[in-house]
Amino acid sequence: MNIEEFKKIFLEEISKNEIQVKENQIKQFYNYMIGIIEWNTKINVTAITDEKMFIVKHFIDSLTINKYVESSNSLIDIGTGAGFPGIPLKIINPNTKITLVDSINKKLNIIRDLSSKINLEKLEIIHSRAEDLAQKKEYREMYDIATTRAVSNISTIVEYMLPFVKVNGLAICMKGPNFKEELDDAQKAIEILGGKIEKIESLNVGEELERNIIIIRKVKKTPNKYPRGQSKPLKEPIR
Ligand code: SAM
């Protein structure tokens, strides 16, 4: 796909989200996509290699939460993988300080390579488990927003996310269909960790993707003992 074909599809899809995109940002999106698809021939970083699907399922889907990010100064994307939703949000919001975290460094090295090629600034890329990083005082309760897409069940991810969020900030969980039972199971975890469910948005992205966005407001500080170490958020989620 050349950049003109990319631009046509991208602009058509993005117009549904009411997001303004500049010419240089379209180039950044295009070059990021081409870079990931090229890396994917050497290391498996995404299952999505069809370009139209890539635009919809990676870029447009990531930008469904843009309206929450526009008015924020800082965001941490936990379990970012190949940079989703963090990189699309960074391209659209160049002045927001964005931190990407993942426990697997090989994908982060790809993001490091591509983000410098497309000149992204105010972007920090950290190789760590979320639960270790959140216990460091320079990261704890320092962010307006924490995001996760496709990382784990809701009880687990709120323990990864809420410790990073400032009181009054948001934890934004991007979930697929069938999230309701998980959310019921996570009520206690959300409360203990200082969160309160503010709203749930359900929408379709492209023709087949059902996206549910769970917005959790941080209403009080997270007790110091959370997140717990030794993979406890995953193995023994708060119930
Ligand atoms: N968010 C990306 C996306 O939607 O394309 C990647 C999703 S991938 C299925 C889940 C990612 O979460 C993996 O890259 C994994 O290494 C990372 N992950 C899982 N648990 C984590 C933890 N405790 N701390 C940091 N990263 C974690």
Q: What is the pLDDT of residues 42-82, one digit of tens each?
A: 999 999 989 999 999 999 999 999 999 999 999 999 999 99
Return the residue whose CA atom lies nearest to atom 10 of ligand 1.
151
Mean pLDDT for the chain? 96
Cβ of 229 closer than 6 Å to ligand 1, yes or no, is: no
pLDDT of residue 99: 98
- 8 C-alpha to center of ligand 1: Å? 31
What is the Cα–Cα distance from 107 to 112, expressed in whole angstroms? 9
pTM equals 0.98
Confidence grade of residue 97 (pLDDT, cut at 50, 70, 90): very high
Amino acid at 91: I
Res. 175: pLDDT tops 90: yes
Mutate to test the pocket of ligand 1, among 62, 102, 107 (most ligand atoms within 8 A of CB): 102
pLDDT of residue 73: 98
Mutate to test the pocket of ligand 1, among 103, 127, 175 (most ligand atoms within 8 A of CB): 103
Cβ of 101 closer than 6 Å to ligand 1, yes or no, is: yes
Helix ranges (DSSP H) in 93-227: 105-117, 130-133, 154-161, 180-185, 187-192
Cβ of 102 closer than 6 Å to ligand 1, yes or no, is: yes
pLDDT of residue 18: 83
- Which has more pLDDT, 150 or 17? 150
Res. 208: pLDDT tops 90: no
What percentage of the chain carries pLDDT values higher than 70?
100
Rounded to 10 deg, the angle between the 23-39 and 105-117 helix axes is: 140
Ligand 1 atom index nearest CA of 86: 1
- Which has more pLDDT, 99 or 15? 99
Cβ of 81 closer than 6 Å to ligand 1, yes or no, is: yes
pLDDT of residue 49: 87
Res. 138: pLDDT tops 90: yes
Res. 207: pLDDT tops 90: no
CA distance to 55, 58, 82, 95, 210, per residue, from 47 (Å): 13, 11, 11, 30, 18
Confidence grade of residue 159 (pLDDT, cut at 50, 70, 90): very high
Res. 235: pLDDT tops 90: yes
Question: What's the mean pLDDT in 83-104?
Answer: 98
